[in-house]
Structure 1
Amino acid sequence: MIKNFIGKVSLCGTLLLAGTGMLTAQNKMDSKLPMDPNVRTGKLKNGLTYYVRHNEEPKDRASFYIVQNVGAILENDNQNGLAHFLEHMAFNGTEHFPGKGVLNYLEKYGVAFGRNINAYTNVDETVYNLSNIPTSNENLLDSALLVLHDWSNYLSLEGKEIDNERGVIHEEWRTRRSGGMRAYLEKSKVIYKGSKYAERDVIGSLDVIDNFDHKVIRDFYHDWYRTDLQAIVVVGDIDAEKFENKIKEMFAHIPAVKNPKERIYYDVPGNKEPIVGIITDPEVSNYSFEVFYKHKATPFNEKNMKYYRNSIIESLHSSILGNRLNELLQKGNAPFINAWAAYYNKARKMDVYHNSVTLKEDNLLGGAETFLKEIERANRHGVVATELERAKTEMLSSIEKQYKDRNKQHNDRLVRGYQRHFLVNEPVPGIEFEFEAIKKLLPGISAEEVNAFSKKWMTQENVIITFTAPEKENVELPTEQQLLALLEKVRNADLKPYVDKVITEPLISEMPKAGEVKKEAELNGFGATEWTLANGAKVVVKKTDFKENEIRLQAFSKGGNSLYGVEDLASAEMAGGFIANFGLGKFDQTSLQKLLTGKSVRVSPYISELSEGFSGNSSVKDFETMLQLVHMYFVAPRFDEEAFTALKGRYMAYVANMGADVNKAFRDSVSVTTTDHNPRTILFNTDMIASLNLETMKRVYQERFVDASDFTFVFVGNIDVEKAKPLIETYLGSIKDIDREETWKDNGVDYPKKDTYNHFAREMETPKTTIHIDLHGDIKYSRENKLMMSFVSSLLNKRYLEVIREKEGGSYGVGVRGYVSKFPREEYNLVIRFDTDPAKADKLKGIVYDEIQGLFKNGVKEVDLVETKKNFIKEYQENLRKNGYWINAINRYYTYGESVKSFEDYEKMINSITKENVEKFAKKYFAKTGKVEVVMSPKE
């Protein structure tokens, strides 16, 4: 859908249209949109729909999906939660893959659970995916299709497996039951009042989960997992015609369900008087005020040219309003933390115009009033022609970028379009058609037409108001009567039209004096060129064809906030993010964004612990603009006191109640414990925000970005090297050079000298124990040691999935991460973290340690090692065709001296690793290791 959230236009390939023939007469708004000509689609006699498309991004990979037009909305009360439970059961036995056969088979080929194998359930749909399947193995492709075949109609649903999965679902419920989630679920009951949507929250009733009879879930499966409600989607580097025939052969025999139950699409009833819900929770961390205006959704069979054109208008309006709200946030005493408004589809038969604002605790009603006035101003006086033209330009730029990258669209992104087409008849005519349509439709959309839409959205009836807040003493929340009175007050307020202020000057008024490339060298192994400019800056350029219309930037220099004392540390850490919100030169942030309208470009400065620099990206045509932005961040950064005050105030309001979030409390405990309460451990809280100082930020920033000679700039993407060279000489070669030599400083922040245990209890609404284990010690930094640590992490992930999640039903998931660091000192750390039932915490913690020791005491399982090797090789092959991988690889070369191995050399290195290698490594570093253990449990 062409929908706009928080003012940023997002054109998704699912709903762009176009077609020169269709648009010759704009009065044919009832015309249907064509199907993407690149996809082969059809329906079998048993009702099953399929979509098959050849696509080469990523190369030699394919994605396999089964889309079920089935979700929690179809559950009976005694099945509440079983749509989601059934999704889990698809990984616990099918006709051709008994037990954990689906995972066991696919992981032999490096297809990893979680990353490549996954699924989701929501209220209206359930979708399973096997992504990035290697296409070089025909048997593997056939087996992936066979998995979808089994998921369609041949789940085993064995009683033992069902019972084992109850604990996993329990722990998923526990992990997800944050204050924010509870508030969201309560809010849904208000929004969907009177509808079945108010009764279903996907994960369902624990009473049902714990006690349902096996027959109940089998009945749900038989009733709803059926061919007329299913679509098979295969997109990838395959022969599409061949796979279309395979689908016909493999799926045609599945019998259609006789006398099928009707797949009902539930209404959300209207309401004459506003429905108001005030929702509080002790673990909610912010104040949110929302107004929903409910509307009937466009029927599936009416999603035609008129529907598409309306979607464009909706997106333009949201973009304009988002920009206005963002403009308010740049002012000294910003009235709220953030806000947005958009018209979109929220349930199968309900659209909403959704206005949302996050408020400051000390000005709840005042912030809400300012927000509502801005919405009302746009509704009453409409949009200004100049801002509409900018929104059109932005939309056109976005679709043009997608069009230029049309041959580099990712498999899974294309799948989402076909998925929406199957589920709700969302048009999917293809990017070529879309690009032409947008160009033809935009000029005919007037400000008056956009304004008419807004007036239609804001109705007197079908209004829902929600207010979500922490449960906190001494804070008086608005009443239902006050919220209703506020809406009425704003409707009658005296509001002046919006004035669109634009600076017409160029970003750089006078071209800088260019420097020269003094030295040129080839970066062997990287396929890149290194230039040394006269001012000492190094520039590395690597041309790729992975994306037709993308150039990425990364720039770095040694130093970072390690060079500053504790008193300056908070300001130094936050300086990059703040200054990115100040604008550049003569342009404040609002003016700068208006200047950059229609340009696909982003540059963000950063200051981290050991370095400073920039990250960014641009389209091919906006490469020069990206260089100009970098130049200006060096020579004309802006230190806007009003914008600083506004952003600091928003941060202060944002963090004010973060302590109510038990997960934030736990993360803070981990931070201070693992660094032995070092004063340089700055927690993100009110004390930190209060200490921020603009003058300190200015001083730190100017010191970090004063000298080009110690910077390395890396550009990777579809870059014309010869055309780029004079531009780089102009914008980077002209930056000041003071020829200083700097490096970072080791401030001695380290783990506690002895094993440390921080076990604490905290009041919480949903009882859970959260466990964090950090094992650490000295190690020589090397590619081999990094690789072995990655193997250890992967092997432990497998073991914990098998033992803690599946066998014990003790956790939704155990996270394992292993690191080998070179700076500021050579050391390793292995981090394990998970949530669990307090009653199981000690037992599971023991299993965590036992499995680590088991790596060398019991030995590594050969099958696990082989699967890990396959996954590493598969992922490396995929990474070699990503701009993001190469830009980071070049960074590692300059930072750590690491080269890049060819795929063949990498494969050889991985395959040379034996179980004895891993066991020896594990014994060396984990038989005796430093330990930090942080455990948070509920107060009794």
Structure 2
Amino acid sequence: MNFKKFYFLFIFLLYSTIGFGTSLEDSKNLLEGTLPNGLHYYILKNEKPENRASLNLVVSSGSLNEEDDQQGLAHFLEHMAFNGTTKYKKNDLIKYLQSLGLDFGGDLNAYTSFGETVYKLQVPTSEKDLDTGLEVLREWASEITLDPKAIDNEKGVILEEWRLRQGLTQRIGDIQKKILFGNSRYFHRFPIGLPENIKSANHNLLNSYYKKWYQPRNMAVIAVGDFDPNMVESIIKKYFNYKGDDNFTSGVNYTIENNFKKSTTIFTDPEITGVSLNFICQSKNAPVNTMDTLKKSIARDLYLGILNTQFSIISKENNSPIINGGGYSYNIGKKDRFNMISLDLRENDITSGIEKGYSLVKYLGTKLISLETLNLEKTDYLSGIKNFVKNKKSIQNNTYIDMIKNKYLYGDTFINPEDELSLTENILKTITPEDIENIAKEFYQENTAIFLIAPEKDNLNIPSKEDIDSVIDKIRSSSLDNLTLNNSLPKLEKLNLVPGKIITTDSTKDCTIYTLSNGIKVYYKHTDFDKDKISIRLFKEEGSSNEDYDNYINSIVAPYLISNSGIGNLTSDQMEIFMKGKNFSVTPYITDYEEGFYINSDMENLGLSLDFFRLMINNPKIDKDIFNNLMNQLKEEVKNKYNSPKALYRDKVSSILSNNNPRRKSLDESDLSKISEAKVLNIFKKKFNNFNNYKIVIVGSLNDTEARNEITKYFASLPVKSENNKPQPLGITFPKNIIKDSVTKGVDKKATVTLVYPYEGTYSNENRTLYNASSKILDMILIEEIREKLGGVYSIYSVPDLEPYNYGENSLKIFFSTKVSRTEEITEATKTVVDNFINGKIDQKKIDDIITNYKLTYETAIRKNQYWSQYLYKKSFIPDYKVLTPKEYNSFINYENMVKFLKTAVNKDNYIQITLLPEREE
């Protein structure tokens, strides 16, 4: 039989059956409509999270529609939405939404892009709350007041947001923008805008943009959540059926105008710490709304999967010039798409890295891959879709929101998970190596822009533009006959274990506790939050704290080296192929005070994931190539780390807070000299060859019988020897009194400040709860006083850290950046807020708000595996550990308890203030 002829006949029949010109149908679960004024609405019922709804107002206008004197005002207008509407004056809107328990920046937020502005709310699903949420969206749609005083106050906040993006990020970004966008409208309309336009913004300019583009025919309301869709539809009709401008005309559909030409750009900077290279191509984009465009989208994903797998294999070769490599593709607007391949290269062999990376790009763009390679990737892709569908009832609202938003903005079809799986299964059967080659050609074009980024320093051999072009021309004219793809699917050796036994079973209100024949305790909880997900954590209190410094250094790299060097009979590169289509991960860790494993899997792969775990501890090994590559990478990182002002600053903060404890600094050359294959293997075996005093938490969708089977086979058989190793406190104590220090490094327009208030109280569940509550209230005050009133920052927040296993390293940290000339003013104002807070200047309304927020957060959290995994983990070694119920929290969190706690926990005369300042401003 002529197999080749038969294969193409089969493909032809599939094409004939499927009909690739056919339009895709939207999910019948999506309720959509258009009001008489032209406003679109989309409503979808989704059960997760329970009793929660996500509401979005999508305005089909962003920075591209700005006039020359309006640059940045689309984004400015987004800010003004939170500064007052007809019904909600000034900041009353945020205060009101916070009174519902919503977090500013989390539950209520917004963003502005080139082509859209989106406002987002997360609300409870009572009819009253849904009514309020949709009323707020309606206010934003046409009732933003644009008070002149509020506009002037907000300028400082927006300028600080602009300032955050300056420095090295901006310098690289300016070059990349020119490469990507040429002289198109996109280049001249970045959403953040221009400082001069922000400073000159006024009511008339903002109102002109607002009234022109915020029209019903240019907007959509999207609602996804655990609600009655018909009820939500009636509320939308109630609020949004207002009259718009009958003369409204849609904006220009701007494109990048096919500006790409073959080019090579080299950018060096003293603050860059490594060499990276981008190959950038441009292609046309089309909405995913037909079988043909869906097929192309899937084929693109398959290509990227193949490409990324091969780059991962290449990076593991001995002395590979490529550290990391990968491709990605994204659309800009409706018609344009960028296809990029990014490489991190060894700085001592940049040219070889370019040659090796581009050779793979050409190979895929000019040669047909084997059916074996394609089928492996199809298996992997289909596995991901199946896993998505199996867990469809735990898909979060925002996932669906993004899909519906793409339907409204770009014309994609909204497909429900089951239909997507069915379509994908059929389409995958029709995708051929030729289809992958066609996609690959979009990444391999004559008109490719090459962008090389490297440190600016002596003795670094950076190839010239001519050198790079010569390498590219050489590859484009070569046959690449010697290049092949690794696609051989290996088999894992069988594991023979003698099962142990479960000795006792104790049922509690939270979980079932099994005591095993080897003494290990297992905390098991069955859940149905995710239909097919299991989370396992094995852990022991010890870590590297009781090891000498040499062992400590080797313990830092041991988990990475062992887990990337192959498992059992599999080599490191075979692992890349073996993992195709398998949904599990096994991750060892060693920290200061603990060691253990994280294992995540679905039911199909649970046994395999546990085989991996046992093979990793039974016979750990180190691949010499993986070891050498990591050491080469670390040497480069150590050599270049202080190019970065942020790295120097982080080390300064750590050294001051730890009183120069060597275990709190970043690695240096002396540390690297202590690392060896033998020492790494020794410390890994030492930590994972004896499971005495280990505990195990299992949370997920496996039932009791399945759990008992896996527990007896894999965990009750673990080796246990009598010993009593415990964590050894490192003895790190924060400095006393007031410490001020600074780092001056780099070129930037901002100063960065860290304020640290060491915790001065004792640990208890109650104190931990009060500490976390205090931080939430403090954040609200800091936003009001420092951001809104002073306009001194864009972002300011505190981080509380109080746990018994911190062994004294407990603190409240405050982070912000600001204009260099305002550093002292904003820092002193922040400390004044803290002083007043400690002394009881706390509004009762803010206490009420965090109590309401706690209830919402708690109700969502307890329906997630992650919550129960973390809760049982802490409960296992903190006997009195407790998470308060909303009712208990409501009774406990009050003004008196908070002020009493703060007096003992935070001392206004004991803080560490560390500032990063630029050597000069740009």
Q: State the alpha-carbon separation in 2 of the partners of residues 419 and 360 from structure 1.
A: 41
CA deviations 1:894-940 (Å, max 9, x no partner) are 1212444573xx42333332212111111223345532221222335
Residues 284 and 517 (structure 1 numbering): CA distance in 2 closer, same or farther, change over 3 Å?
same
Report deviation, 1:694: 2.2
| Partner residue, 2:825 | 843
The answer on 1:556 being equivalent to 2:545 is no
| Partner residue, 2:67 | 76
CA RMSD of aligned residues (A): 2.1
Q: Secondary structure at the match of 2:801?
A: strand
| Structure 1 letter corresponding to 2:898 | V
Q: State the alpha-carbon separation in 2 of the partners of residues 347 and 483 from structure 1.
A: 32
2:514–2:522 contact (8 Å) kept in structure 1: yes
Q: State the alpha-carbon separation in 1 of the partners of residues 915 and 846 from structure 2.
A: 29
| Partner residue, 1:11 | none
Q: Percent same amino acid among aligned pairs?
A: 27
The answer on 1:103 being equivalent to 2:85 is no
Q: State the alpha-carbon separation in 2 of the partners of residues 281 and 435 from structure 1.
A: 47
The answer on 1:280 being equivalent to 2:268 is yes
* Structure 1 consecutive aligned stretches of length 4 or more whose deviation exceeds 6 Å: none
Q: State the alpha-carbon separation in 1 of the partners of residues 153 and 453 from structure 2.
A: 37
Report deviation, 1:311: 0.9
The answer on 1:547 being equivalent to 2:530 is yes
Residues 191 and 155 (structure 1 numbering): CA distance in 2 closer, same or farther, change over 3 Å?
same
The answer on 1:913 being equivalent to 2:860 is no
Q: State the alpha-carbon separation in 2 of the partners of residues 623 and 449 from structure 1.
A: 34
Matches within 5 A, 1:49-88: 49-88=40-79
2:36–2:241 contact (8 Å) kept in structure 1: yes
Q: State the alpha-carbon separation in 2 of the partners of residues 45 and 851 from structure 1.
A: 50
The answer on 1:803 being equivalent to 2:791 is no
| Structure 1 letter corresponding to 2:124 | P
Q: State the alpha-carbon separation in 1 of the partners of residues 140 and 455 from structure 2.
A: 43
| Structure 2 letter corresponding to 1:266 | Y
Q: Secondary structure at the match of 1:773?
A: strand
Of 113, 125, 142 in structure 2, the residue corresponding to residue 135 of structure 1 is 125
Q: State the alpha-carbon separation in 2 of the partners of residues 721 and 757 from structure 1.
A: 56
Of 375, 391, 404 in structure 1, the residue corresponding to residue 361 of structure 2 is 375
Q: Secondary structure at the match of 1:91?
A: helix
| Partner residue, 1:862 | 844
1:781–1:827 contact (8 Å) kept in structure 2: no
Of 586, 594, 601 in structure 1, the residue corresponding to residue 569 of structure 2 is 586
| Partner residue, 2:661 | 678
Matches within 5 A, 1:298-447: 298=286, 300=287, 303-447=289-433
Of 223, 228, 231 in structure 1, the residue corresponding to residue 212 of structure 2 is 223
Q: State the alpha-carbon separation in 1 of the partners of residues 96 and 889 from structure 2.
A: 24
| Partner residue, 1:504 | 490
| Partner residue, 1:853 | 835
Report deviation, 1:502: 3.0
2:757–2:907 contact (8 Å) kept in structure 1: no
| Partner residue, 2:8 | none
Residues 655 and 45 (structure 1 numbering): CA distance in 2 closer, same or farther, change over 3 Å?
farther
Residues 445 and 698 (structure 1 numbering): CA distance in 2 closer, same or farther, change over 3 Å?
same
Residues 654 and 256 (structure 1 numbering): CA distance in 2 closer, same or farther, change over 3 Å?
farther
Q: State the alpha-carbon separation in 2 of the partners of residues 149 and 686 from structure 1.
A: 60
Of 500, 511, 515 in structure 2, the residue corresponding to residue 515 of structure 1 is 500
Residues 933 and 856 (structure 1 numbering): CA distance in 2 closer, same or farther, change over 3 Å?
closer
Residues 843 and 42 (structure 1 numbering): CA distance in 2 closer, same or farther, change over 3 Å?
same
| Partner residue, 2:623 | 640
Q: Secondary structure at the match of 1:816?
A: strand
Matches within 5 A, 1:152-171: 152-171=141-160
Q: Secondary structure at the match of 1:560?
A: coil
Residues 474 and 66 (structure 1 numbering): CA distance in 2 closer, same or farther, change over 3 Å?
same
Give the number of aligned pairs.
Answer: 907
Q: State the alpha-carbon separation in 2 of the partners of residues 182 and 911 from structure 1.
A: 52
Q: State the alpha-carbon separation in 2 of the partners of residues 256 and 244 from structure 1.
A: 20
Q: State the alpha-carbon separation in 2 of the partners of residues 920 and 936 from structure 1.
A: 34
| Partner residue, 1:291 | 279
CA deviations 1:731-769 (Å, max 9, x no partner) are 22222222322211112222235542212322x322322
The answer on 1:932 being equivalent to 2:912 is yes
1:892–1:898 contact (8 Å) kept in structure 2: no
| Structure 1 letter corresponding to 2:888 | K
Of 754, 779, 802 in structure 2, the residue corresponding to residue 820 of structure 1 is 802
Residues 289 and 843 (structure 1 numbering): CA distance in 2 closer, same or farther, change over 3 Å?
same
| Partner residue, 2:168 | 179
CA deviations 1:111-161 (Å, max 9, x no partner) are 110111111112222211112x1223x322211101110111111111111
CA deviations 1:178-219 (Å, max 9, x no partner) are 413431232111111131112222211111111233311211
Farther-moved stretch of structure 1 (23-32 vs 103-112):
23-32
Report deviation, 1:351: 1.8
TM-score (norm 2): 0.95
Residues 898 and 600 (structure 1 numbering): CA distance in 2 closer, same or farther, change over 3 Å?
farther
2:851–2:889 contact (8 Å) kept in structure 1: no
Residues 81 and 474 (structure 1 numbering): CA distance in 2 closer, same or farther, change over 3 Å?
farther
Residues 442 and 554 (structure 1 numbering): CA distance in 2 closer, same or farther, change over 3 Å?
same
Q: State the alpha-carbon separation in 2 of the partners of residues 541 and 909 from structure 1.
A: 27
| Partner residue, 2:36 | 45
| Partner residue, 2:466 | 481
Q: State the alpha-carbon separation in 2 of the partners of residues 329 and 747 from structure 1.
A: 37
Q: State the alpha-carbon separation in 1 of the partners of residues 281 and 228 from structure 2.
A: 47
Q: State the alpha-carbon separation in 1 of the partners of residues 401 and 667 from structure 2.
A: 39
2:610–2:714 contact (8 Å) kept in structure 1: yes
| Partner residue, 1:4 | none
TM-score (norm 1): 0.93
Q: State the alpha-carbon separation in 2 of the partners of residues 113 and 628 from structure 1.
A: 45
| Structure 2 letter corresponding to 1:256 | G
Report deviation, 1:606: 0.3
Report deviation, 1:353: 2.7
Residues 478 and 84 (structure 1 numbering): CA distance in 2 closer, same or farther, change over 3 Å?
farther
Farther-moved stretch of structure 1 (173-182 vs 240-249):
173-182
CA deviations 1:471-520 (Å, max 9, x no partner) are 334434333322222211111234224143536333x4242111111222
2:793–2:818 contact (8 Å) kept in structure 1: yes
2:73–2:193 contact (8 Å) kept in structure 1: yes
2:52–2:225 contact (8 Å) kept in structure 1: yes
Q: State the alpha-carbon separation in 2 of the partners of residues 844 and 785 from structure 1.
A: 29
| Partner residue, 2:509 | 525
2:365–2:443 contact (8 Å) kept in structure 1: no
Matches within 5 A, 1:227-242: 227-242=216-231
Q: State the alpha-carbon separation in 1 of the partners of residues 485 and 96 from structure 2.
A: 62
Report deviation, 1:313: 0.9
1:859–1:915 contact (8 Å) kept in structure 2: no
Of 451, 454, 472 in structure 1, the residue corresponding to residue 440 of structure 2 is 454
Report deviation, 1:700: 0.9
2:505–2:513 contact (8 Å) kept in structure 1: yes
Residues 71 and 163 (structure 1 numbering): CA distance in 2 closer, same or farther, change over 3 Å?
same
Q: State the alpha-carbon separation in 1 of the partners of residues 560 and 150 from structure 2.
A: 49
CA deviations 1:595-638 (Å, max 9, x no partner) are 23211101100001100001121112222122212212221222
Residues 468 and 825 (structure 1 numbering): CA distance in 2 closer, same or farther, change over 3 Å?
closer
| Partner residue, 1:876 | 858
Q: State the alpha-carbon separation in 2 of the partners of residues 655 and 337 from structure 1.
A: 15
The answer on 1:831 being equivalent to 2:816 is no
| Partner residue, 1:91 | 82
1:552–1:717 contact (8 Å) kept in structure 2: yes
| Partner residue, 1:794 | 776
| Partner residue, 1:8 | none
